[in-house]
Amino acid sequence: MLYLVATPIGDIKEITLRALDILKSADIILCESTKETSKLLKQLEIKAQKYEILDEHSTAEDLQNLVTLCEQHTVALVSDCGTPGFCDPGNDLIRLCRKKNIEVKSVLGASSLMGLLSLSSRKLNEFIFRGFLPAESESRAKEWQKLKNEKKAIILMDTPYRLKKTIAELIQYLPQREMLLALNLSQPDESIIEGKASTLSQKLKFDKAEFMLLIYPDGQ
């Protein structure tokens, strides 16, 4: 199991209760710098069982070793501050874990957007935040036509009861784009699905759910 644990950017009191629980119970703390992370954990009065490093110098062999650890242990990934995977190391490890069906969960704090971005298995330099599409059919179809021509990454949201409708529209308008669907983030039934729209449809276990969708850049 791999947990992506958001840590305070500044004020130590911004840490969440769930993050504290995960950091206390983790078998391994995976970090960019033991110096920075041990300083944080000392302030939080947490003693790590074991540290491992994931940074910009980590090799393919290092990543494979970390995947094995995630397969066998509870691992908490943190960056020096903020949310891992968002402009910080983590995406490659997430991709490899997902390939081996190792569960990856986001301990996101209050930001669903940051939680979604941190779960991406691909590096994103920019994205379009589209948010909620129009509810009215004609306006919605026009918006999909615009999005069909957008090459950058796109983030969409909608109401829980439009989940299946949105997936059907993705199959219609963006059948070849790879995407990441996050359902019920941070809830007990959290589910993360990655692939083309047809894959999302096949693996979807909910008729309705709170969801956010990251459509990867065209050609990536």
pLDDT mean over 1-13? 91
Same domain for 104 and 200? no
Q: Based on the structure, what is the number of domains in the chain?
A: 2
Same domain for 26 and 74? yes
Report the relative pairing of strands 179-183 and 211-215 from DSSP bridges.
Answer: antiparallel
Same domain for 87 and 65? yes
User: Mean pLDDT, the chain, as a whole number?
Assistant: 94
Residue at 220 is within a domain: no
Domain boundary among 118, 141, 174: 118
Contact 71, 80 (CB under 8 A): no
Per-residue pLDDT, 127: 96
Per-residue pLDDT, 220: 67
| pLDDT interval class at 18 (50, 70, 90) | very high
Same domain for 114 and 64? yes
Contact 163, 184 (CB under 8 A): no
| pLDDT interval class at 114 (50, 70, 90) | confident
Per-residue pLDDT, 146: 96
The string of pLDDT tens digits covering residues 61-104 is 999 999 999 999 999 999 988 888 877 789 999 999 999 999 99
Domain boundary among 71, 94, 118: 118
Residue with token string 């903020």: 82
Same domain for 134 and 192? yes
Per-residue pLDDT, 109: 79
DSSP state of 167: H
| pLDDT of 110 higher than 80 | no
Same domain for 102 and 9? yes
- Give CA separation, 51 vs 48, 91, 194, 206, in Å: 7, 19, 29, 37
Sheet with 127-132, strands from edge to edge, namely 127-132, 153-158, 211-215, 179-183, 191-195
3-state secondary structure of 212: strand
d(CA 173, CA 150): 12
Per-residue pLDDT, 187: 85
Per-residue pLDDT, 108: 83
Domain boundary among 85, 118, 151: 118
User: Which residue range forms the structural domain that includes residue 88?
Assistant: 2-118
